[in-house]
């Protein structure tokens, strides 16, 4: 079987873009962050749990879950990709990093694997208590879209933001298409809800319907106690 290293490199860039797209909003609403009230959660035996949000999410045994150090590296590289040479946006994203916590990152294959596609999911929390106007996920998405216009990425929106309820919790969902190069389009679906003073986000990134289906199956395992 022929190995597609070009596809692997594109997907590595996509995972960084996914993180950056999720942290951009706080650049508009930045203030001092207090992370003492929230925990990173734990991942054991295929299940992620977080006592602060009282949630659980199942990840397939065959998938690759990143350690904290790797998650932080994704945040850093994602900001570099999005900002490009825009110094103001670079500074804003650096400040935004302090507001966002990457709780969980998982991919079907280990990053860097010789595969043409590598769907991934991220669970992120961003403090929004200093921005009382952000009352629901759609408010969060509004600011994210404004900042994405400032980036060097070519982003389109296939449809309007819509709502979905998971285990009694309402999420607003924003779908995007990110053009990475000629003929290469990365799709992202970002779920957002406001909970306990944080924007709780699930970001799904994929290139085809097979990847999309796998990610939505993971989302359906989400439960809140």
% of the chain exceeding 70 in pLDDT: 69
**DSSP code per residue over 8-46:** HHHHHHHHHHHHHHHHGGGGTS------TT----EEETT
Comparing 173 with 180, the larger pLDDT belongs to 173
Residue 117: pLDDT above 60? yes
The domains located in the chain, with CATH, are 5-224 (3.40.1000.10)
pLDDT value at residue 181: 72
The 10s digit of each residue's pLDDT in 20-61 is 444 444 333 333 344 456 888 999 999 999 999 999 999 999
Cβ atoms within 10 Å, residue 121: 26
- The SS3 of residue 59 is coil
């Amino acid at each position: 079987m022929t190995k597609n290293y070009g596809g692997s490199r594109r997907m590595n860039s996509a995972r960084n873009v996914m993180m950056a797209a999720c942290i951009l909003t706080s650049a508009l609403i930045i203030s001092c962050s207090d992370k003492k009230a929230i925990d990173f959660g734990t991942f054991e035996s295929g299940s992620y749990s977080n006592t602060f949000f009282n949630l659980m999410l199942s990840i397939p045994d065959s998938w690759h879950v990143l350690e904290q150090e790797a998650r932080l590296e994704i945040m850093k590289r994602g900001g570099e990709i999005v900002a490009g040479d825009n110094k103001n946006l670079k500074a804003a994203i650096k400040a935004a990093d302090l507001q966002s916590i990457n709780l969980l990152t998982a991919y079907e294959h280990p990053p860097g694997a010789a595969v043409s596609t590598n769907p991934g999911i991220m669970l992120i929390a961003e403090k929004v208590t200093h921005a009382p106007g952000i009352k629901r996920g759609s408010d969060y998405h509004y600011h994210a879209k404004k900042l994405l216009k400032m980036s060097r990425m070519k982003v389109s929106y296939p449809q309007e933001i819509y709502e979905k309820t998971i285990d009694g919790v309402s999420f607003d969902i924003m779908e995007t298409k990110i053009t990475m190069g000629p003929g290469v389009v990365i799709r992202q679906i970002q779920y957002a809800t406001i909970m306990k003073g944080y924007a709780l986000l699930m970001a799904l990134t994929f290139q085809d319907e097979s990847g999309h289906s796998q990610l939505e199956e993971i989302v359906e395992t989400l439960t809140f106690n």
